[in-house]
Amino acid sequence: MTELNFILKGLALGTHTTPWDLKVLLFKGATNVRRNIAMQAIDSGEFGELVEDRLSFVGKLYNVLNVYLTMGKSKRTVISYLEQVWSFYNWINDNDMPATEAKILNVFKKWSEYLFRKVNFTKDLAKMTAYKRASTIARLITKALDLPDCKAGHRLMLTTRLKRPNYVQKVLTTKADKQNLADTYEFGHTLTAICNFLNINIVRGRLPIKIVINEQRILTVAGNLIDPDLDLKNIRNSSNNQAVVIARQPLAEGVSLLDINKRSGILNLRIESELLLFIGQTGMNLSQAAALERNNYRWQSDGENYEVFRVYKGRREGEAIFRCYKAYRYHLQKYLSWLDETELSSNDGRLFPLISRGMVKAKNSRLYLSTTKNLFKKHDIAFINPSKLRNTRINWLLRHTNDLELTAEQMGNTADVLIKNYLRPNHQRASIEILEFHNLTDTGHASPGPGVCVDSHQPKAIAKFPESAPKPDCISPDGCLFCEKHRDIMSSEYCWKLVSHLKIKSIETGLYKPSEDQFVHPSNIVIDRIILKLKAISESSEIRKIWVEDAQDNIRSGKYHPLWDGYIKLLEKIV
């Protein structure tokens, strides 16, 4: 029975990769250890006999996964399915559950309840993570059991307490948006500094390597050193001291970087940094960029950008493979020369030939960029993963071009995909769009009073029009302040106009001698209206508060707005 062949053959394998063999699922406890160790332990009989009750369902599960591979489903997706299956069976083994075809649905429901408790009680699992894990297994189970209804997996999920969490987009503040760009600029600056510093002489030179980013930050690249900051004076044993000195010495002339692995981490650091810069420049996906072959390139200017073509042997024509900014051409050519100097290009045909220490990874295997991530984490620098880097580039392009179709074409997507998956709200762009909308729908005209009129010669009194207030008539400046068509202008000059207007009304009320009826003078109502506007402007933001205070200081020093300056001086003469 142990000779059953449940190996998935459609998955690409590297030199150090263990094939995915579903036979492991047939032995209790076998999924709880690494797959290569599990297969050796099964062959040596450490897990005992296989559980025959599991055989029927595992066979059907194997058929489903084989069908997915035959249909051309992404191999990464299939591997992620397998990882979830192994996790599911880990729980089955730990809890001694019967993973038979007849009872697998009940076992699944108990497992989903376990995930539910982890989300809501122990709180060590995210809601979306739990839901995705469970829905993946639900889909595989219903396919394996050939349950009716094309949405049987969804129906099975409805029998659990795990619900897909509603996606609530976080409010993007102006501060958060600026912080995102600041982190991106720092990230790009650091990557550029790493690439420029790690030339062939530095890579082959003395360890550790100190990369100066700015006056406050220096990156320490250890290479193969365990303790790069070790003080040699503290080592008393002469043999240990000699070993430490030798480990830090430059590579001897004639020693190839590819013959030893001592400098592979340093080489990978530059290659990963170049890869991230390339993605930032071209907007290409990580998997696409990592799979690019090194070729002869033909550069064709396209305004502010270059289109880069792959040149085929014996022909000038070629295939356009990416587009980048003009300034990046010089940087990329320096990197290509570095690949030749380090002999990496003669050993590996890829544009970004990451070294795997003697391993040959499976084609299209997942790339983790662990060397750069670990270095940035150690020095407390924000690491921006390729998808966020690409997202930032798309939103930056859209903000500066204000052209959705052009941005989509540049990034190799449709406008619909861009809006659905990449577009993020931006306060600056939203403000511009709101302003453009108001300019089209609320066109301003010169008004007799401060501010502007949006419907010249069509006055209309505001709601709750104060008794005795000046009526709007497109003639009296005071009446404009009580008209529905009047609009404030958020500027320091407008505040100066309002405070100057207030000065006139104050002088007028000082000249007024009330009659026996003691009625309220219209100027008092205008004063109240202006004070109310100034208060609202002042409280709306810190900068506007400064505008109001500066305007009031100008009036106290006798500097009036030119619109009212002559009237105020005439009234002051009368007083």
Locate tokens 């419907």: which residue? 455
Residue closest to 208 by CA, chosen among 226, 187, 234, 196: 226
- Determine the Cα–Cα distance for residues 448 and 459; give it in Å rounded to an integer: 12
pLDDT score at 315: 47
Q: Which of 407, 406, 382, 412 has the alpha carbon at shortest distance from 396?
A: 407
User: What span, in angstroms and rounded, lies between the C-alpha atoms of 550 and 558?
Assistant: 12
Weakest mean pLDDT among 62-76, 542-556, 560-574 = 560-574
Q: How many CA atoms lie within 13 A of 531 on its CB side?
A: 9
The answer to whether residue 170 scores a pLDDT higher than 60 is no
Domain coordinates of the chain in residue numbers? 22-157, 177-384, 388-438, 488-574
Q: How confident is the model at residue 314 (pLDDT cuts 50, 70, 90)?
A: very low
Rounded distance between C-alpha atoms, residue 133 and residue 306, angstroms: 44
Mean pLDDT of 520-539: 89
Q: Which residues pair with 320 in a beta bridge?
A: 309
- Which three-class secondary structure state does DSSP give residue 9? coil
Which residues lie below 8 Å from residue 452, measured CB to CB, with a gap of 6+? Answer: 444, 445, 446, 486, 487, 489
DSSP 233-274: GG---HHHHHHHHHHHSPPPTT--TTT-STTHHHHHHHHHHH
Higher per-residue confidence, 465 vs 440: 465
Task: Identify the pLDDT of residue 327.
Answer: 81
The answer to whether the beta carbons of residues 453 and 487 sit under 8 Å apart is yes
Cα–Cα distance, 165 to 117 (Å, whole number): 15
- State mean pLDDT over 190-199: 94
Sign of the CA dihedral with 22 first, then 27, 28, and 31 last: negative
Lowest mean pLDDT across 55-69, 92-106, 475-489: 475-489
Say what the pLDDT of residue 521 is. 76
| pLDDT reading at 70 higher than 70 | yes
Mean pLDDT of 249-258: 84
Q: What is the pLDDT of residue 181?
A: 72
Residue 11: what pLDDT?
78
- At 320, which helix (H) or strand (E)? strand 318-325
Residues in the chain: 575
Amino acid at the residue 214: N
Residue 297: beta bridge partners? 310
- Whether residue 481 contacts residue 447, with contact meaning beta carbons closer than 8 Å, is answered with no
pLDDT at 192 over 90: yes
Where is average pLDDT lowest: 113-122, 169-178, 474-483? 169-178
Residue 574 pLDDT > 60, yes or no? yes
Q: What gap in Å lies between CA 139 and CA 78, rounded to an integer? A: 13
Give the whole-angstrom CA distance, residue 120 versus residue 131. Answer: 13
Question: Looking at per-residue confidence, does 145 or 418 come out higher?
Answer: 145
Average pLDDT of every residue of the chain: 82
- Cross-strand pairs, 452: 446, 487
Average pLDDT over residues 195-215: 91
Instruction: Please state, in angstroms and rounded to a whole number, the distance separating the CA atoms of residues 30 and 89.
Output: 9
CA distance 401 to 393: 12
172/180 Cα distance (integer angstroms): 10
Q: 552: closest CA among 468, 482, 492?
A: 492
Has residue 169 got a pLDDT over 60?
A: no
* Average of per-residue pLDDT across 284-292: 85
Residue 101's pLDDT is what?
A: 94
Q: What is the pLDDT of residues 357-416, one digit of tens each?
A: 655 565 556 788 999 999 999 999 989 988 888 877 766 666 656 666 766 666 666 777
Pairing verdict, β 209-212 and 486-487:
unpaired
Find which of 12-21, 136-145, 162-171, 256-265 is predicted with most confidence, using mean pLDDT.
Answer: 136-145
Q: How confident is the model at residue 199 (pLDDT cuts 50, 70, 90)?
A: very high
Q: Residue 349 has what pLDDT?
A: 85
Report DSSP state, residue 442: S
What pLDDT is attached to residue 180? 67
CA 510, 516, 521, 527 torsion: positive or negative?
A: positive
Q: What percent of the chain has pLDDT over 90?
A: 34
From the number of C-beta atoms within 10 Å of its C-beta (0-12, 13-18, 19+), residue 437 rates as exposed
Instruction: List the one residue out of 533, 512, 537 whose CA is nearest residue 523.
Output: 512
Three-state secondary structure call for residue 435: helix
The structure tokens listed for 355 are: 């070294």
Torsion of CA 390, 391, 393, 398, to 10 degrees: 140
Instruction: Assess contact for 565 and 500: CB atoms under 8 A.
Output: yes
What's residue 108's pLDDT? 96
- Min mean pLDDT across 177-181, 272-276, 497-501 is at 177-181
Is residue 62 within 8 A of residue 22, CB to CB? The reply is yes
What pLDDT does 182 receive? 78
Judged by average pLDDT, the poorest of 89-98, 165-174, 477-486, 527-536 is: 165-174
pLDDT at residue 177, as a whole number: 57
Name the more confident of 3 and 159. Answer: 159
> Residue 371 belongs to what H/E stretch?
helix 370-378
For tokens 């505008």, the residue is 547
Contacts 24+ apart (CB under 8 A), 357-364: 357/261, 357/264, 358/15, 358/261, 359/14, 359/15, 359/16, 360/14, 360/15, 360/16, 361/14, 361/17, 362/11, 362/12, 362/13, 362/14, 362/17, 363/12, 364/12, 364/75, 364/76, 364/287, 364/291
- Alpha-carbon Rg for the chain, nearest whole angstrom, is 36
Mean pLDDT of all residues in 126-133? 94
Q: The tokens of 3 are what?
A: 């000779």
